[in-house]
């Protein structure tokens, strides 16, 4: 059994479907054939019983075949003038003691208890099946012979029914065989037709695995399960293609951004190394400038690598647990976090004035990630503010605005400010990796909020961060 099951599971799917369909049809046809056979058999037996009842011999003729001692005068075989159309029947006379004599027919049939009960008038009549002396089956109808203490038993061979049933069984077998073969062929055709989209999907997956061609799309027809599977495959390949393009773009952009500080760092180090090798000292001021440049470039590289690590974190969303930046999502005071970020921004721009109006607001976020995002927004404002300028920070009901009075961002550049490594042409000479606002957008989105950047009235830029939350902390705010 297990071996057959393993062999069945080893067949192709379309073969298994065709086999299952053929098996189901075979079982259904077999059950229908058996039921039909029994129904027809019962109908034929009932018809034979009716024929025995309707074509029974004359009671007077039967009485004439019995002498005064209750013995049959003779056994009549075949047909004579007194018994027209009855030569197929076997007629016996049954006495109350169970004895019998054959008055018509070729075979004698042993009386049964039912025949004796009819002779004794215990029952009015009886139908039953009995076996003749030669072993053949007969259908027997026994009824009382009026005016005598006897009963008459009329019997006809069941071969009349069996021949018809054998022919019916042959016809049913042929029809069932044709039906099973047709069902198998139909099942194979249905399996091939139904699995054609699966074959296309399989071929597409194999093609993608072989060539890594993510531009392949499967035609979608209808709205059934196969169509939804095709749509899912197309969506998956589109997402993979987009992810691969973004990855390649990130690698290219990162390589481009890393090349500049590395080239400058290499040049400065080579100058210092050549000075040591040749013994020609670099003037102190120039040496100091070279070391300061090396330090600045190393700092820039460290910041760029940190930004790349931040962007490489999984985009888990606001409802997940641990973050890779070292913090868990928890309820935190947005206003306190902003105040801390403002203190850090003042250290980076001591000549600037940073005003703050912070209303209490509590949000669910990762404290380190959200603080870094706010610092990036403030750093961006500090970087583009003129010397002695003012940066205005306001937090009101979850809406944080940071306004600077710098040169502003041209309207045609605003759609690109959150792109990775994008830097305004006017800001190429300023320090930075072009990843700060990308990190801000990512962090705010993970916290369930949104961030925008737009031109301010009268000049400058306004950055707006909106985060869902509440003005009062919940009763308990454990880390999730």
Confidence at residue 109, expressed as pLDDT on a 0 to 100 scale? 85
Q: Tokens 């603080």 appear where?
A: 371
Domains and CATH numbers, the chain: 12-65+74-213 (no CATH), 225-312 (1.10.287.130), 330-470 (3.30.565.10)
Confidence at residue 222, expressed as pLDDT on a 0 to 100 scale? 73
178-to-33, 34, 164, 222 alpha-carbon distances in Å: 13, 16, 21, 34
CB atoms under 10 Å from CB of 291, counted, come to 13
CA nearest 90: which of 70, 69, 73, 111?
111
What CA dihedral angle connects 174, 175, 180 and 183, to 10 degrees?
Answer: 150
CA nearest 161: which of 271, 51, 237?
51
Confidence at residue 1, expressed as pLDDT on a 0 to 100 scale? 58
What token pair was written down for 187?
């099942």
Distant-in-sequence contacts of 420-429, Cβ < 8 A, 24+ apart: 420/249, 420/250, 420/253, 420/311, 421/253, 421/254, 421/256, 421/257, 427/383, 427/384
Distant-in-sequence contacts of 213-221, Cβ < 8 A, 24+ apart: 214/238, 214/240, 214/241, 214/244, 215/241, 221/197
Cα–Cα dist 56/40, whole Å: 24
Which residues are CB-contacts of 102 (< 8 A; sequence separation ≥ 6)? 72, 75, 90, 91, 92, 108, 109
Confidence at residue 337, expressed as pLDDT on a 0 to 100 scale? 92
Confidence at residue 71, expressed as pLDDT on a 0 to 100 scale? 62
CB atoms under 10 Å from CB of 14, counted, come to 20
Which residues are CB-contacts of 421 (< 8 A; sequence separation ≥ 6)? 253, 254, 256, 257, 433, 434, 435
Rg (CA), the chain: 52
Cα–Cα dist 198/208, whole Å: 15
Confidence at residue 300, expressed as pLDDT on a 0 to 100 scale? 65
Confidence at residue 335, expressed as pLDDT on a 0 to 100 scale? 92
Confidence at residue 480, expressed as pLDDT on a 0 to 100 scale? 41
Query: CB of 335 within 8 A of CB of 360?
Result: yes
Q: Are strands 330-333 and 100-104 parallel, antiparallel or unpaired?
A: unpaired
What token pair was written down for 232?
């899912």
CB atoms under 10 Å from CB of 345, counted, come to 22
Confidence at residue 250, expressed as pLDDT on a 0 to 100 scale? 67
Confidence at residue 11, expressed as pLDDT on a 0 to 100 scale? 65
Cα–Cα dist 16/44, whole Å: 41
Cα–Cα dist 116/135, whole Å: 21
Provide the residue-wise pLDDT of the chain in tens; the chain has 480 residues.
566 666 656 666 667 777 777 788 888 888 888 898 889 888 888 888 888 887 777 777 777 777 666 566 555 544 444 444 455 678 888 888 888 787 777 778 888 888 888 888 888 889 988 888 788 888 889 999 887 888 888 888 888 888 888 888 888 888 888 887 887 787 777 777 777 777 777 788 888 888 878 787 877 777 777 778 788 888 888 888 887 777 776 676 667 667 767 887 888 888 888 888 887 888 888 888 888 878 877 876 776 676 666 666 655 444 444 444 445 788 999 999 999 989 888 887 778 899 999 999 999 988 888 888 898 889 888 888 888 889 999 999 999 999 998 888 887 777 777 776 655 655 555 555 567 787 788 889 888 899 998 888 888 889 999 999 998 887 764 444
Confidence at residue 426, expressed as pLDDT on a 0 to 100 scale? 55
Query: CB of 125 within 8 A of CB of 97?
Result: no
Confidence at residue 9, expressed as pLDDT on a 0 to 100 scale? 63
Confidence at residue 83, expressed as pLDDT on a 0 to 100 scale? 45
């Amino acid at each position: 059994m297990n071996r057959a099951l393993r062999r069945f599971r080893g067949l192709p799917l379309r073969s298994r479907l065709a086999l299952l369909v053929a098996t189901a049809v075979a079982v259904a046809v077999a059950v229908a054939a058996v039921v039909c056979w029994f129904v027809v058999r019962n109908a034929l037996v009932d018809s034979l019983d009716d024929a025995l009842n309707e074509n029974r011999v004359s009671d007077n003729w039967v009485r004439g075949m019995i002498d005064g001692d209750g013995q049959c005068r003779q056994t009549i075989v075949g047909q004579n003038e007194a018994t027209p159309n009855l030569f197929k029947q076997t007629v016996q006379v049954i006495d109350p003691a169970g004895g019998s004599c054959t008055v018509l027919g070729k075979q004698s049939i042993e009386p049964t208890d039912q025949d004796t009960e009819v002779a004794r008038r215990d029952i009015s009549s009886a139908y039953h099946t009995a076996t003749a002396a030669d072993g053949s089956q007969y259908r027997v109808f026994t009824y009382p012979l009026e005016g005598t203490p006897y009963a008459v038993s009329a019997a006809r061979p069941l071969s009349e029914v069996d021949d018809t049933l054998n022919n019916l069984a042959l016809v049913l077998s042929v029809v069932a065989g044709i039906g099973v073969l047709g069902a198998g062929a139909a099942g194979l055709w249905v399996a091939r037709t139904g699995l054609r989209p699966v074959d296309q999907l399989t071929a597409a997956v194999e093609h993608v695995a072989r060539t890594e061609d993510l531009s392949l799309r499967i035609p979608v027809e209808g709205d059934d399960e196969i169509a939804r599977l095709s749509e899912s495959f197309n969506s998956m390949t589109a997402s993979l293609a987009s992810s691969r393009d973004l990855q390649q773009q990130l690698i290219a952009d990162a390589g481009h951004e890393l090349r500049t500080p590395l080239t400058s760092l290499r040049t400065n180090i080579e100058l210092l190394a050549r000075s040591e090798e040749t013994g020609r000292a670099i003037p102190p001021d120039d040496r100091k400038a070279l070391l300061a440049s090396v330090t600045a470039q190393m700092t820039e590289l460290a910041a760029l690598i940190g930004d790349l690590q931040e962007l490489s974190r999984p985009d888990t969303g606001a409802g997940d647990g641990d973050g890779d930046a070292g913090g868990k999502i928890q309820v935190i005071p947005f206003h306190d976090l902003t105040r801390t970020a403002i203190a850090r921004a003042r250290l980076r721009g001591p000549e600037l004035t940073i005003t703050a109006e912070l209303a209490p607001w509590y949000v669910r976020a990762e404290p380190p990630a959200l603080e870094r995002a706010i610092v990036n927004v403030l750093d961006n404002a500090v970087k583009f503010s003129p010397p002695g300028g003012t940066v205005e920070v306001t937090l009101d009901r979850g809406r944080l605005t940071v306004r600077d009075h710098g040169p502003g961002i041209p309207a045609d550049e605003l759609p690109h400010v959150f792109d990775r490594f994008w830097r305004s042409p006017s800001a190429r000479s300023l320090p930075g990796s072009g990843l700060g606002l990308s990190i801000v957008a990512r962090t705010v989105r993970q916290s369930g909020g949104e961030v925008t950047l737009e031109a301010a009235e009268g000049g400058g830029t306004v950055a707006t961060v909106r985060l869902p939350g509440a003005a009062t902390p919940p009763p308990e705010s454990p880390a999730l």
